[in-house]
Amino acid sequence: MNIILIGYMGVGKTSLGKRLANRLEMEFVDTDQLIETREGCSIETIFANKGESYFRKLEQEVVNELRLKDNLLISTGGGMPCFNNLMGVLNDMGLTIYLKRSAKELANRLIKSKKKRPLVVNKNYNELVTFIDEMLIKRAPYYEAAQIVADRTMQTVTDLELQINDFKNK
């Protein structure tokens, strides 16, 4: 079985994904990193030189490859489930987990983050909160289609691990 972490930028998919992969003895894959390695440049450069729709095509290609594999813990890019009907595909590939935080919390985390994210770069805290609020309204229907919705302010890694094991034993 694969486990697929989805959720907004800055929610902590990659760091949690690495920890969970270790604990559950699964292979960790980060779709943004995979795309950067393949293209030989950063996501920021891909957006700047080739545009967002080119990036979304790359995401689709990556999903089509990963869906053939097993025992992966996949951390996805924040927009992946919301384009090209990929949420349905992700749900078919394994156990999808939506990691959820409030817009304010996400803005705080994104302001501190060193990772360059083209969609939110150059925004101050207040602009970020408004932007995230608006985007979450559009993205929520996709994210909420996940098989597990995990509130990251409330749930620890151990809580999540228990939920995953419950799901596996069903």
Closest CA to 3 of 74, 77, 81: 74
Between 51 and 70, CB nearer to ligand S3P = 51
Between 44 and 161, CB nearer to ligand S3P = 44
Q: Please state the closest distance from residue 170 (CB atom) to ligand S3P, in A.
A: 29
CA 3 – CA 118 distance, rounded (Å): 26
Task: Provide the H-helix boundaries in 67-168.
Answer: 86-93, 103-112, 125-143, 157-168
Between 134 and 166, CB nearer to ligand S3P = 134
Q: Please state the closest distance from residue 46 (CB atom) to ligand S3P, in A.
A: 9
CA 9 – CA 24 distance, rounded (Å): 24
Q: Please state the closest distance from residue 23 (CB atom) to ligand S3P, in A.
A: 21
Between 140 and 167, CB nearer to ligand S3P = 140
CB count within 10 Å of CB 29 equals: 19
Residue 7 to residues 14, 82, 126, 135, 165, Cα–Cα distance (Å): 11, 10, 21, 12, 21
Contact residues for ligand S3P, defined by CB under 6 A: 9, 13, 32, 43, 77-79, 117-119
Q: Please state the closest distance from residue 1 (CB atom) to ligand S3P, in A.
A: 22
CA 139 – CA 78 distance, rounded (Å): 9
Q: Please state the closest distance from residue 64 (CB atom) to ligand S3P, in A.
A: 17
